[in-house]
């Protein structure tokens, strides 16, 4: 069953605000909640490319765009962990899910760990998909890559970024811009299937419409969340090392791309240590694993989430 709902979450402000979400599959199947990256991201890439295929493996796949991010253009977003956790509670409640498997992509993986620490009884398993556990280490990995492989313009931009306060939005946003401009999120050996999947995603009418709306709103639901989470949660300084022992008996799985420039060997080694259920590095794969290597990504999930 394919169900699309846009429901109203009440009680978080003076007026109700709509949160975009969508579900695929049989509501009686094993539940999965996908947490997208960001801040300022969207689940649209996972929705368009992968959610239906994953649900056909016997899962009830739920996704949403966080309040004030992506397609959830609200004016009551606080950009705090607690509001995010409350929205996850409400979302799972609306779908009748008491305990859920979390797939957290990038920043969504950091949120998955934090949510599981706060609500351990509501989490069955966690899959970290290209998710940092030390964001400053990831920013430094980008700097190192640009310093070695970047051209003169990139190195000049890097020099400017390195002069900023490492806790500031200028430091993190400048680094992420460098990453996008210098192929940090792109595998140089991406398969033909992966290239076709990326091309299909960007040519999808819903994606084109989404990007047009972003431009028309001056990228409000991309920029405001980044600034909000930096200001309210200091998210770029998050280190999750002390959170993993608090997960009690919740299994953690890690799936990462060998070509993902956000990670150096030291951070990947630590993530592998904390991945109590299993850890895999995918070849010919960078940050958007479900686009780069969808078949391998889904195969691993079906082995782990049973």
- Asked if residue 212 has pLDDT above 70, the reply is yes
Condensed to tens digits (0 to 9), the pLDDT of residues 279-304 reads: 999 999 999 999 999 999 999 999 99
Opening angle at CA 32, ends 94 and 193, nearest 5 = 130
Asked whether the beta carbons of 83 and 52 are under 8 A apart, the reply is: no
Share of the chain above pLDDT 70, in %: 94
- Please report the pLDDT score of residue 1 as a whole number: 38
- Please report the pLDDT score of residue 13 as a whole number: 32
Q: What is the pTM of this model?
A: 0.94
Superfamily for domain range 2-133+188-304: Alpha/Beta hydrolase fold, catalytic domain (3.40.50.1820)
Condensed to tens digits (0 to 9), the pLDDT of residues 248-271 reads: 899 999 999 999 999 999 999 999
pLDDT-derived band of residue 73, with 50, 70 and 90 as boundaries? very high
Condensed to tens digits (0 to 9), the pLDDT of residues 7-34 reads: 434 333 323 458 999 999 999 999 999 9
> Who contacts 57 (Cβ-Cβ below 8 Å, separation ≥6)?
298, 301, 302
Within 10 angstroms of residue 79's Cβ, the number of other Cβ atoms is 23
- Please report the pLDDT score of residue 306 as a whole number: 85
How far is it, in rounded angstroms, from Cα 168 to Cα 231? 9
- Please report the pLDDT score of residue 248 as a whole number: 80
Kindly state the average pLDDT of the residues 146-158. 95
Quote the mean pLDDT of the chain. Answer: 93
Kindly state the average pLDDT of the residues 57-67. 98
- Segments making up each domain of the chain, as ranges: 2-133+188-304, 135-186
């Amino acid at each position: 069953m394919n169900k699309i709902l846009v429901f109203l979450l009440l009680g978080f402000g003076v007026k109700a605000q709509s949160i975009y979400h969508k579900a695929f599959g049989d509501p009686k199947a094993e539940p999965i909640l996908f947490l997208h990256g960001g801040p300022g991201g969207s689940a649209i890439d996972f929705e368009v490319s992968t959610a239906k295929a994953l649900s056909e493996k016997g899962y009830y796949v739920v996704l949403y765009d966080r309040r004030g991010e992506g397609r959830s253009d609200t004016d009551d977003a606080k950009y705090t962990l607690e509001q995010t956790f409350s929205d996850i509670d409400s979302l799972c409640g609306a779908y009748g899910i008491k305990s859920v498997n979390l797939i957290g992509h990038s920043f969504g993986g950091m949120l998955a760990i934090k949510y599981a620490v706060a609500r351990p009884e509501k989490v069955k398993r966690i899959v970290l998909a290209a998710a940092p556990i030390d964001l400053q280490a990831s920013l430094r990995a980008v700097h190192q890559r640009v310093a070695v492989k970047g051209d003169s313009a990139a190195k000049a931009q890097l020099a400017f970024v390195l002069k900023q306060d490492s806790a500031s939005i200028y430091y993190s946003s400048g680094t992420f811009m460098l990453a996008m401009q210098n192929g940090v999120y792109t595998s140089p050996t991406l398969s033909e299937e992966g290239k076709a999947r990326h091309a299909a995603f960007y040519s999808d009418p819903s994606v084109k419409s989404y990007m047009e709306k972003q431009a028309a709103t001056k990228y409000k639901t991309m920029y405001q969340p980044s600034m909000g989470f930096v200001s309210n949660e200091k998210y770029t300084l998050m280190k999750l090392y002390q959170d993993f022992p608090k997960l009690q008996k919740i299994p953690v799985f890690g799936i990462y791309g060998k070509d993902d420039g956000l990670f150096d060997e030291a951070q990947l080694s630590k993530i592998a240590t904390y991945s109590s259920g299993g850890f895999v590095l995918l070849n010919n794969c960078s940050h958007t694993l479900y686009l780069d290597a969808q078949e391998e990504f889904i195969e691993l999930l079906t082995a782990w989430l049973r």
